[in-house]
Amino acid sequence: MKQKIQLRSLTVENEERLPDLLDLLVGEHFVFTDIEYDAKSGLVKIPFWRVRHNGPSRLIRNWWFYRLHEVDVVKAMLWIRSVTTFEPVGEMEMHTYSFTNVQYRSNLQLLIFSADPGLRLNLCLRDINIQACDLKIEGKSHVHEIPFFWEACDGMIYD
């Protein structure tokens, strides 16, 4: 039986669901210049792609202590509504970033996305209204692995 990728959707409307968002985003990639902020409507859109989806992978190299897998890439979108201010902090270049953390400071109504290398996205919210949705499977990427110790994706996508 062939393993399939399950397309996911997640809605976050309170602080208790933020760990689910963190689980979905950590280690996934986005390009800073693809982020859209519409101050008039209070909407931030962050396109991102998922390679850690537990879908099928193809073994490309299998050395004694190192493996290289090819995986399908899931294109996804993150919508954050009710945004009053959007402030990126750090290096805002045109390369790929990887989500590392999501925090919410309720006393400031501040949502913070941390990303490597060296970027933080600060969003002030009127209320928590976040939706993440997988859009389609498109392209492939490589995952590097040392079994039981380490796994990484360089964020490069190819057809």
Please state the domain extents for the chain.
Answer: 9-153
Neighbours of 118 (CB within 10 A): 12
Q: What is the mean pLDDT of residues 69-81?
A: 90
pLDDT of residue 125: 97
Is a pLDDT exceeding 70 seen at residue 150? no
Range with the largest mean pLDDT of 51-55, 70-74, 149-153: 70-74
- Scan for tokens 């994706």, then name that residue: 153
Average pLDDT estimate for 10-37: 93
Span 84-141, pLDDT tens digits: 999 999 977 767 898 999 999 999 999 999 998 889 999 999 999 999 999 998 878 7
Per the structure block, which two tokens stand in for 127? 């209320």
